Amino acid sequence: MPSNKCSDIMRGMGPRAPHRTIAHLDFDAFFAAVEENCDPSLRGKPVIVGGGERGVVATANYVARRYGIHSAMPLRTARRLCPQGVFITGHFELYREYSQRFRALLGEYSPLVEPLSLDEAYVDLTGTELLFGPPVETARLIQRRVAEELKLSVSVGVATNKLVAKVASDYQKPGGFTVVPPGQEAAFLAPLAVEKLPGVGPHLLEQLRDRGVVTVGDLARVPVPLLRLSFGEWGELLAHRARGEDPCPVAPREEVKSISKEHTFEEDISDPGVLESTLIALTEEVCRRLRSQRLEARTVTVKIRYADFVTHTCSRTLPRPLDVDEVFFAEVLSLFRQGRRRRYRLRLLGVGLSNLTPRAWQDDLFDQRLPLLRELDLKLDTIRERFGKKAVVRGATFSYNPSAVSYTRTSERAVSSQVRLG
């Protein structure tokens, strides 16, 4: 059962315990809390962070939430609900700075720190007791240090795996500290609404509700073969998750400095159609890898090698980091058109992304078109992950991949199963 008392827990979490101790930490009302730090006169007032007139709410502090304001709500609605609220556009660079300081602090306690987004991370505290004492107390200490040094409130969940730690950190927000002792994972999750399980989105939720599943406990009682029948491999995974099982390790991501991909033509090419569709395909691939690592890039580079091996590279740095295909297509094509100095045939093309940072969540603070494009990109990424890279091919890359036409049917099938699965 969730507990705030470290003493209960530590009996089960001694140095020789065979289980892991993982903490998940998530800032409370992150962007708004940073804004309150910058301007302490905001404390106690409803604070809403979000973009221009047409934008949506990125987050609202807990005072504003009492008016029913929440992330992703149109700002217009938020203004109607709380006309006296303080509306702020947001300062991404500042949020990134806080995020870096947060990760550095966590890194003092364990080499195994896995950031999930700017405002949350897992830290594996298994085996740290010799240095820092009982892991649950270490997690407490981290929470206090975040409050004192970053002046931010963070909610903490401690459990034997990432899944349960994440649900636990959300259990008593804001300022929560929830420990799920070893062996209590399933019992902790059972009474919670099934959508509290990470990965249960609106579409899956609807399908589960249709089957009478409301709580995580209900889900744990559905026979595994039935889940497998309804949801395939994901069904089996779901069965494990409903029981609070998650073997995934806390995986610190190596710091990626750049992501690039090159293509050498079988024979030297001068046809601009083929060259540009090659560039589009390369850009798609690097952007997909960028998103899969939850990064954004500011600098894009195009590499052009001519038939005689003379090589040029040209780069452009965007005003802010992004991860959306369309933006990079435009940059890459314009770099190529400007940078191709000679009409010679080409031997190789390459596209690289650098100046990488962990992604910030919400682009629509600045531009309404981006979230839709990002949604499209993410859907395509999922389809490709499930059905292979060629399952969906952008029209613009057809000349790069002449066999693409034969994939059209696959892609239709993939899209329709995607729609069904959500």
The C-alpha R_g of the chain, in whole angstroms, comes to 24
The reply on whether position 160 binds ligand DCP by CB under 6 A is: no
> Please, which residue, 119 or 129, has the CB nearer to Ca ion?
119
The reply on whether position 328 binds Ca ion by CB under 5 A is: no
- Give 125-153 as a DSSP string: -TT-HHHHS-HHHHHHHHHHHIIIII---
> Please, which residue, 82 or 351, has the CB nearer to ligand DCP?
82
Rounded (5°) CA angle 278-319-354: 50
Q: Which stretch binds ligand DCP (CB under 6 A): 29-37, 40-48, 233-241, 320-328?
A: 29-37
Beta-bridge partners for 215? 193
The reply on whether position 26 binds Ca ion by CB under 5 A is: yes
Identify the residue among 231, 234, 361, 366 touching ligand DCP (CB under 6 A).
361
Give the nearest distance from C-beta 199 to Ca ion in angstroms. 15
Q: Which stretch binds ligand DCP (CB under 6 A): 3-11, 20-28, 210-218, 284-292?
A: 20-28
Give the nearest distance from C-beta 154 to ligand DCP in angstroms. 9
The reply on whether position 114 binds Ca ion by CB under 5 A is: no
Contact 142, 23 (CB under 8 A): yes
| Cα–Cα distance for residue pair 225/336, rounded to 1 Å | 53
Beta-bridge partners for 264? 348
Identify the residue among 36, 119, 276, 377 touching Ca ion (CB under 5 A).
119
The reply on whether position 171 binds ligand DCP by CB under 6 A is: no
Beta-bridge partners for 178? 157
- The 8-class DSSP code of residue 29 comes to T
Burial 99-114 (b: 16+ CB within 10 A, else e): beebbebbeebbebbb
Give the nearest distance from C-beta 162 to Ca ion in angstroms. 14
The reply on whether position 31 binds ligand DCP by CB under 6 A is: yes
Question: ω into residue 15 within 30 of 0, thus cis?
Answer: no
CA-based nearest residue to 305, from 267, 274, 350: 350
Give the nearest distance from C-beta 48 to ligand DCP in angstroms. 11
> Please, which residue, 26 or 129, has the CB nearer to ligand DCP?
26
Q: Which of 35, 36, 114, 120 is catalytic?
A: 120
The total of other beta-carbon atoms located within 10 Å of residue 235's CB is: 16
Q: Which stretch binds ligand DCP (CB under 6 A): 25-33, 266-274, 309-317, 398-406?
A: 25-33
The 105-134 site mask, x for binding ligand DCP (CB under 6 A), equals --------------x---------------
| Cα–Cα distance for residue pair 45/324, rounded to 1 Å | 35
245 is catalytic: no
Beta-bridge partners for 346? 269, 306
Q: How many residues bind ligand DCP (CB under 6 A)?
A: 15
Say how many Å lie between the first and final Cα of the chain, rounded: 32
- Looking at residues 39 to 68 of the shown chain, list those that interact with Ca ion (rule: CB under 5 A): none
CA dihedral defined by 202, 206, 208, 212, rounded to 10 degrees?
A: 140
Give the nearest distance from C-beta 199 to ligand DCP in angstroms. 15
Give contact residues for Ca ion (rule: CB under 5 A).
Answer: 26-27, 30, 119-120
The set of catalytic residues is 120
Residues in the site for ligand DCP, rule: CB under 6 A? 26-31, 58-59, 71-72, 119, 173-174, 361-362
